[in-house]
Amino acid sequence: MTPASAASAVSAGRLATLLVSAPTSGPGYLALAHRLRELVGDGRLPVGTRLPSERALAAALGRGRATVTRAYDVLREQAYLESRQGSGSITRLPVSHAGRTDHLLVPRGSTEDSIDLTIATLPAPPGTADAYRAAVEELPAYLLGTGYYPTGLPALREAVADRYTRRGLATSPAQVVVVAGALAGLAVTAQVLTRPGDRVLVESPTYPNPLSTLQARGVRLVATAVDPGHGWDVDAVRQLVRAPRMRAAYLIPDFHNPTGALMPTEVRHELARVLAAAGVTPVVDESMVDLALDDAPLPAPFAAHSPGAFSIGSASKAFWGGLRIGWVRAPADRVDAVAAARLSLDLASPLLEQLTLLEMLRDEGPIRRHHRERVTASRAALLGALARELPDWRSVPGRGGLSLWCRLPAPLSSALSVAAERHGLYLAAGPSFAPEGGLERHVRLPHTLPGPLLEEAVRRLARAWADAPAVARRGAGGTSGRSPVVA
């Protein structure tokens, strides 16, 4: 890993406050190193921050200088700190802990200075390591049991049910089945609701991975358009649901991925009515619902208008993807079918992660605020850079979500993504989000990376856009189709 360049410095006084506000047990240099490592690990001391001198921190903490010196030495050994002549001690993360190391998620050919815009998800918020630690503390109480909770840890089912009830959808814990993320929830639900040869209504554009899940089940997809400015077309849905064997409708009404659109209450109501009249079950993906970027009240959940709907939730976006926890909220008389379907895939979700999520849910305000501040700042940086570098691209920022769905002046999205790779930029082209092909006039741009990185990404994007027509003429664009992994 190349040496981190210092983005900012933290003063001795500020660092002493961070350290003191969350003391660890056991005094001495190891405890100090441990706490500093946590602050770096969960982002409260961002990578690239210059730490105060050993003398200054020792004075601020009222400790001996040797304690700080030895703590810094430990951090250097563990690759959390890098000291360079003239630059002081700069925070970093060990290579093995950084980034997306699974080869399926790292775009082919990417290097350390590549910028990856194929994934719209956030790093773990501050306090995640603390939540895991608190969960470990609770673990002994469970160790004499089997550890298997096929429908989920009762306390977590209760907490999830309470959240639905608070959002305006009365829910009992018995209606909640905890699964390994929203995609697993969709796979389980598809098993309950569909048979090979059935039809499922999907939005276009839509989040791509469920399309593969549905297709693997032998289901035929029928697409209805969602537009960031105009939203859902209920009249079109009314026509489409007349097709034979139309069983379910996969919808993302709460900060739709990729457009960020939020379905208004009256559209929820009308769409629910149209689907119910046609005997089509809504499958409502609420993975993004906690990513509102303002304080205005949100509409009640779609299922509040549709008693037969299945709702799917996830901790991946609102908390952290590494938890791998999601859930299905089903109508009371369908929960047994959901549980049976889940047992055909896996037996239960990991106990430690369920306990950890429960900890995070106990005090989710700070986590929400942290994510919101980061996403808001990143989105402003992205919009500003696009206005400067690519003024003829169009986007309609929604009230929430993690990405912009940009309209290009020409249908060159696949050529653009091929051209971008040559500038070290990885994109998910429009066709990745298209259930029936097309969408070459669009590209999804996530605003989850820090602002300065997004500004650099847009500079590369502008260069790639200039190259895209030539790439398309050579026939190198337009054929990339759906990317294997877009998250």
Ligand X SMILES: Cc1ncc(COP(=O)(O)O)c(C=O)c1O
Contacts with ligand X, residue ranges (CB under 6 A): 181-183, 207, 252, 257, 285, 287-288, 314, 316, 321, 326, 487
The amino acid sitting at 194 is T
- Least distance (Å) from ligand X to the CB of residue 179? 9
DSSP code, position 328: E
Q: How far apart are the first and last CA of the chain?
A: 25
Nearer CB in complex with ligand X: 314/413? 314
- Least distance (Å) from ligand X to the CB of residue 51? 34
SS3 159: helix
- Least distance (Å) from ligand X to the CB of residue 25? 34
- Residue facing ligand X at closest CB distance: 181
8 Å CB contact between 267 and 234: yes
Nearer CB in complex with ligand X: 41/321? 321
Nearer CB in complex with ligand X: 49/118? 118
- Least distance (Å) from ligand X to the CB of residue 289? 10
Distance CA 466, CA 51 (A): 42
**Helix locations, 203-282, DSSP H:** 209-216, 234-240, 265-277
Look at phi and psi of residue 388 and say left if phi exceeds 0, alpha if psi is from -120 to 50, else beta.
alpha
Q: How many CB atoms lie within 10 A of CB 213?
A: 18
Compute the residue count for the chain.
487
Q: What is the Cα 162 distance to its own chain's centre? A: 22
SS3 310: strand
Nearer CB in complex with ligand X: 319/393? 319
DSSP code, position 174: G
**Residue 419 CB-half CA count within 13 A:** 23
8 Å CB contact between 403 and 120: yes
Nearer CB in complex with ligand X: 312/355? 312
Nearer CB in complex with ligand X: 72/207? 207
Nearer CB in complex with ligand X: 33/291? 291
- Least distance (Å) from ligand X to the CB of residue 119? 8
- Least distance (Å) from ligand X to the CB of residue 189? 12
Helix (H) / strand (E) element for 133: namely: helix 128-138
Distance CA 289, CA 268 (A): 15
Residue 284, φ and ψ in degrees, nearest 5: -105, 115
- Least distance (Å) from ligand X to the CB of residue 40? 25
Nearer CB in complex with ligand X: 91/287? 287
Residue (of 277, 339, 325, 276) closest to 303 by Cα position? 276
- Least distance (Å) from ligand X to the CB of residue 268? 17
- Least distance (Å) from ligand X to the CB of residue 392? 28
Nearer CB in complex with ligand X: 252/457? 252
- Beta pairing class for 115-117 and 425-429: parallel
8 Å CB contact between 160 and 311: no
